[in-house]
Amino acid sequence: MARLQVVCGLIARRLLALVLGFLLAFVLLEFALQLSANFVRGDRAGEGDGSCFALCVGDSNTFGLNVPKELAYPAQLERLLRDRGASPARVVNRGVPGKPTWIVDAELATDLDRFRPRVLLILCGVNDRNLIRPEDRLDDWLARSRAVNLLRRTWKNTQEHFEAHAVEPRNRMAASAVESVAPALSRLRFADRQNEDRSFLMHFGNPSKEQVALWIREDLAHIATRARAAGALPIVCLYFEDNNTFAPINAALGESARDLGLLLFDPRPAFARALARVDRSHLVFPDCHLKPPGYAILARLLVNFAVEAGVLAGPSIEDVFEPLNGIPARAPRVSPWIEGGVTKGVEVSYLPGLKAQLLLSSHDGLTHVRFQGTVIISLQNESSAQLPIDADESFRAALARSQAFTVVLGDDGTARIPIPSELLAHERVFAMVAFIDDEPEITAVSQRLALR
């Protein structure tokens, strides 16, 4: 028994010594790599990394889901910079679909050191709604550890070596794959725009809006601190519109950026105007990711923002909506304006800045009209337009209210026109809208709408 105890003690001491030796070697390796980084940092451009104008971090909206990488906004931004002769002009896309703010934060230190950007463009937060953030910062430390990153690269290179010599080499990942690890816990694997396999754990959940806003604020604070320490200017980007998904995230991003003193890039007003000019299907996929013309507009807006911020020389782009050229203008729309089950009037949608004149009728059909500052009834041989309703008592009553029934469409191309209840008292009421430019002519007319 005594001999067994001696043997067990000897094994335990050797195992302890082995573990301590491994830990000491790891610490020394980490120290050596961190120290050497200060001396070799200036020589890394030849490795294909090196300084760039912008490092774009975030989720699928940065990655450019549904489009080739050369049509995502980072690639389009780089082409605009090269056309302007900017130096550096390189823009790096580090977006990964599904990535939450804390993973962006955890991976940022390595990316900042690797790419040394002048500007850090941050577009993330929407995935925080469906995930639970780890309470500890282990992921953060592992992402910043040079020793861990060295081991990861060594393992990756070893895998690629054996795969290259295999009889049936594994296809490189081109789309996302979610691997279930445990209930509500999965690992996302994805090939990013640098053709590098990326993966991170996702703990699915349903956090409150307040909790998500707190996470966004804390992670943005960490991200901004890292960026400034690396000499990069952090810019928080909002999502292009306020739909049910983006609105609370935009609110949290905007409030956090203002509280933290960060530059805030807001493309929403410009996209409201763009979506007023062309049908939504030309700019946005059904899953609310931008299409190539949408990313082209976003890239142009970013160029102008960089000029205004003083980080990019040269003039602003005069026409940020140039990518819309050649896309058919959207059709005019008119729909009922209903509140509390009661029809209040009509909602109008067409090109921003146009005048919209509402006309009513108790009958459908066709009326020939002429325009002299407003719509007037005309003989058929004098007509300049045909309206899809008949001239009758309701029609003349609407003409008499032409001033009250004429509005100017806003920047988003929309407006509301109230209708007095007495004009809606007929058994049948049809409405249509004539759209008028500054020139004395009717630009377009809507289809008739049956209000009753």
54 domain residue, yes or no: yes
Domain termination site, one of 292, 324, 356: 324
207 and 319 in a single domain? The answer is: yes
In angstroms, the CA 190 to CA 202 distance is 13
Amino acid at 217: R
317 and 237 in a single domain? The answer is: yes
83 and 121 in a single domain? The answer is: yes
Cα 174 → chain centroid: 21
306 and 377 in a single domain? The answer is: no
Domain termination site, one of 291, 324, 357: 324
Amino acid at 324: L
2 domain residue, yes or no: no
Query: Residue 171 has what DSSP assignment?
Result: P
For residue 264, the cross-strand partners are 236
277 domain residue, yes or no: yes
Domain termination site, one of 324, 357, 377: 324
In angstroms, the CA 250 to CA 125 distance is 8
9 domain residue, yes or no: no
24 domain residue, yes or no: no
Amino acid at 216: I
235 and 355 in a single domain? The answer is: no
Q: Find, among 450, 403, 272, 425, the residue nearest to 349 by Cα.
A: 272
11 domain residue, yes or no: no
Cis (ω within 30 of 0) for the bond into 134? no
289 and 378 in a single domain? The answer is: no
| pLDDT given for residue 379 in this prediction | 61
| pLDDT given for residue 366 in this prediction | 84
Instruction: Give the tens place of pLDDT for each residue, 394-447.
Output: 999 999 998 999 999 998 889 999 999 899 888 889 999 998 887 667 788 888
Q: Find, among 227, 299, 212, 302, the residue nearest to 262 by Cα.
A: 227
195 and 72 in a single domain? The answer is: yes
252 and 319 in a single domain? The answer is: yes
338 and 395 in a single domain? The answer is: yes
82 domain residue, yes or no: yes
* pLDDT < 50 stretches in the chain: 37-48, 136-137, 140, 143-144, 161, 164-176, 178-182
339 and 259 in a single domain? The answer is: no
Q: Can you tell me whether residue 197 is helix, strand or coil?
A: strand
| pLDDT given for residue 369 in this prediction | 80
Q: Find, among 234, 238, 237, 213, the residue nearest to 224 by Cα.
A: 234
317 and 343 in a single domain? The answer is: no
In angstroms, the CA 119 to CA 232 distance is 5
| Domain count of the fold of the chain | 2
Instruction: Give the tens place of pLDDT for each residue, 186-209.
Output: 666 666 777 776 666 778 889 999
**Cβ neighbours for 23, distance < 8 A, ≥ 6 positions apart:** none
CA distances from 152 to 134, 144, 168, 198, 262 (A): 22, 12, 24, 11, 33
Model-level pTM? 0.69
CA distances from 375 to 188, 351, 372, 402, 405 (A): 60, 19, 7, 8, 11
| pLDDT given for residue 213 in this prediction | 96
Q: Can you tell me whether residue 388 is helix, strand or coil?
A: strand
Burial of 248 (0-12, 13-18, 19+ CB in 10 A): middle
The CA radius of gyration of the chain, in Å to the nearest whole number, is 30
Helices (H), 127-208: 138-144, 146-164
263 and 129 in a single domain? The answer is: yes
User: The domain spanning residue 387 has which CATH number?
Assistant: 2.60.40
| pLDDT given for residue 207 in this prediction | 92
Range of the domain at 62: 47-324
16 domain residue, yes or no: no
Backbone dihedral angles phi then psi of residue 360, each to the nearest 5 degrees: -125, 160
User: The domain spanning residue 292 has which CATH number?
Assistant: 3.40.50.1110
| pLDDT given for residue 42 in this prediction | 32
In angstroms, the CA 439 to CA 441 distance is 6
| pLDDT given for residue 168 in this prediction | 37
User: With contact defined as beta carbons under 8 Å apart, do 201 and 186 qualify?
Assistant: yes
